[in-house]
Chains A and B, each alone.
Chain A
Amino acid sequence: MANLPENAALRRTLALGPALAIIGIFMLIPVIIMASYSFLEAKSFGGVNWVFSGDAYVQLFYERMLDDSLRLSPGYLIIIGRSVALALVAMVCCLLVGFPVAWFIARQPLRQRNMWILLITIPFWTNQLVRTFAWIIILGRNGVIEVPFRWTGLLAPEQTLGLMYSNFAITVGLTYTFIPLMVLPIYASLEKLDFSLVEAGADLYSSRWETFSNIIIPLSKPGIIAGCLLVFIPSLGAFIQPDLLGGGKNLMLGTLVQFQFSTARNWPFGSAIAMILLAFVVVFLMLYARASRGSKSLEVH
């Protein structure tokens, strides 16, 4: 009987086997390949030489001068900073718009809720590229927004609002693309929320705002955190929106990676940037783990 726990542990490991194998093959191995490529020497036209080199990471922070000396270069750091900032702003925008939407859907009668959820997910069925192009028509020169300004003469023919090819346009694109990923997990937590708790809050002298911040927010925290992660992570690595809406002049990490593998054919450098991206994601997941440990007791029921 004494070896029962070991037995149980062994059996559990065996049962997890297939799952572990899939994680290993599809997640761990690619990451290892990427990590090792980032420490190799670049071949001129793509691919790598199997020679150890830290050049890729040096290139991130320094510029190599003609005389082979290194000079600190902020170019890539700025791109990293901009990526994190834009992803955060997109995340906040998604939260601000997504939460009320999720609340609205959760408060509908059961049958209508499914219809709303369906509507929310419809954009996923259309090509992302096409949907992003649509924003050019809306934001662009003589686009949907500018036309009324021109008609009313507020905008001279040679002037433009300059909405396109800006950080603003990228943020709009990211928010638009990823908002369903915010709405769905928040909706899932709000749907489980017992509305009589909201009434109990009001009964115990909470104003609307106090009910919201003391009861609704804490009880939907798992959904909010999940939604934030699901928006932040793909926003950080996005390349279609910065490319099309940022006009390639406001680069983000995703664009940079794509550029290194396709046009620049510098695989180790592309891998190094991807590793930086991964580092950010890991940091955020760790913050998530800590935050959800705080609300773990909630998941009991």
Chain B
Amino acid sequence: MTRIQPAATVTPLHPAAPTAVERSGGEPAVVLENVCKTYGRGASAVEALRGVSFDIRDNEFFTLLGPSGCGKTTLLRALAGFEHVSGGVIRLFGQDIVDVPTHKRPVNTVFQSYSLFPHMTVSENVAYGLRRLRRPADEIRTTVAEMLQLVKMERFADRLPTQLSGGQQQRVALARALAPHPKVLLLDEPLSALDLKLRQAMRQELKQIQAETAITFIFVTHDQDEALSMSDRIAVMSEGQVQQVGTPTEIYEHPANRFVAGFVGDANFIEAEITSPIGAEVTCRTKGGLDLRANGAKARPGQRSVTLFLRPEKVRLAPKGQGTVDGQVETIQYLGNACLMEIGIGEAAPVLVSERMADVDQPRRAVGDRVGVVFDPRALQVLEE
């Protein structure tokens, strides 16, 4: 069995690490080919992963996003080696690691429950991986100090994990996983146990640490804001399958299908029939008899019935009679910086509209108001089937 050497020396932190995009030409850090995992067998078998295939680039902040039970943790555990896959290939920098045991993979994990060793102090925890790798004592000492500094936990070096708050334990868990300078760092919802403020602060910090250490991060979350704000690229998963892989903008602006569009952010879906030739812009007739111009980039030739997709903040409201169609405000949700409204336009479902509260003179909406609804033909997209 081949042993993959974890990065032989602890490379000093690179304050100006090249961004993922610049280095994307290199070999992928992780390649997944048709990875399958079935728990149990017979009647109680659960297919947690059904043919997952995608690449993760070197030095990338990559996020696995999906609803509860979609197989994110299973995929991460397969990468760490805790779970043996039922089929497929996992390559780490070109080498198939499916049969490499956990302790020989140059991959470290930040556990959701932190899983710090309760009988070791903070610095012993951080030093643990380096000790197992038989690094010289003085190198261990300097790396531990460096890591504790990186996560701002120097003052707590001699504490036991039980004497730390949740946020502090989380930092130690991060330092412990980073200390051996793995080629890939796996993080399973590391922020989910923290309160909102701390979570937002940690997002920035994690992102910064990723840039400084130039380690490939694979981050699991079911929180779309977290995914959009931190990631270089995101894989959206559902029921053991990957729905789309792309940058946050691609995922949000150009979702590949209805699941992605609906899971990442709010969305309007309108069922319609194409009435014009297929082109960059198509004309569609909705079930309610409305003629709308839409972005047809994703429409297949010869396709007739389509789902149109539109983000609520891409809809503009105008005075009555001046929009694409007139409608009536059915509900209003006041969010402080925006108002989320449902506007009935005679279609099966009301249109969800998010109006920014940026303008002081902005008219205040009330339920029952009649307004004009403006659809931008570039924002109204034909969804891929």
Contact = CB atoms under 8 A, between A and B. Distances in A.
Q: Are both chains from one complex?
A: yes
A39 B206 CA distance: 74
Contacts of B104: 205
A215 B103 contact: no
Interface string B74-98: 0000001110000000000000000
B118 A298 contact: yes
Contacts of A19: none
Contacts of A277: none
A200 interface: yes
Contact of A205 (B119, B132, B162): B132
30 contacts: A194-B115, A197-B117, A197-B118, A200-B111, A200-B115, A201-B117, A202-B81, A202-B101, A202-B102, A202-B103, A203-B80, A203-B81, A203-B102, A203-B103, A203-B107, A203-B108, A204-B108, A204-B128, A204-B132, A205-B129, A205-B133, A206-B132, A207-B103, A210-B132, A214-B128, A297-B160, A298-B119, A300-B160, A301-B118, A301-B162
Interface size class of B (residues with CB under 8 A): 20 to 34
A205 B115 contact: no
Contact of A218 (B101, B109, B119): B119
Contacts of A205: 6, 103-104, 129, 132-133, 180
Interface in B11-69: none
Interface string A43-85: 0000000000000000000000000000000000000000000
A218 B121 CA distance: 14
A295 interface: yes
Contact of B109 (A194, A197, A200, A215): A200
A90 interface: no
Interface in B110-163: 111, 113, 115-119, 128-129, 132-133, 160, 162
A190 interface: no
B176 to A, nearest CB: 7
A30 to B, nearest CB: 39
Interface residues of A, number: 22
A297 B117 CA distance: 12
Contacts of B113: 194, 196
Contacts of A194: 113, 115
Given A203-B107, A298-B118, 19 more contacts: A196-B111, A197-B115, A197-B117, A199-B115, A200-B116, A201-B117, A202-B82, A202-B101, A203-B82, A203-B109, A204-B103, A204-B176, A204-B180, A205-B6, A205-B129, A205-B132, A205-B133, A219-B119, A297-B119
A300 B133 CA distance: 31
Interface string A184-228: 000000000010110111111111001000110011000000000
Contacts of B107: 203
Nearest to B119: A218
Contacts of B119: 218-219, 295, 297-298
A296 to B, nearest CB: 11
B117 A200 contact: yes
Contact of B82 (A199, A210, A295): A199
B78 to A, nearest CB: 13
Nearest to B108: A203
Contacts of B128: 201, 204, 214
A300 B180 CA distance: 29
Contacts of A200: 109, 111, 115-117
A215 B119 CA distance: 8
B113 to A, nearest CB: 6
A300 B118 CA distance: 10
A93 B206 CA distance: 50
Nearest to B106: A205
B115 A196 contact: yes
Contacts of A214: 128
A130 to B, nearest CB: 43
Nearest to B173: A200
Q: Give the top 7 A-B pairs by smallest Cβ distance, nearest first.
A: A204-B129, A205-B132, A202-B102, A200-B115, A196-B115, A218-B119, A203-B109
A196 B108 CA distance: 13
Contacts of B102: 199, 202-203
Contacts of A218: 119
Interface in A284-301: 295, 297-298, 300-301
B136 to A, nearest CB: 16
B118 A206 contact: no
Contacts of B162: 297, 300-301
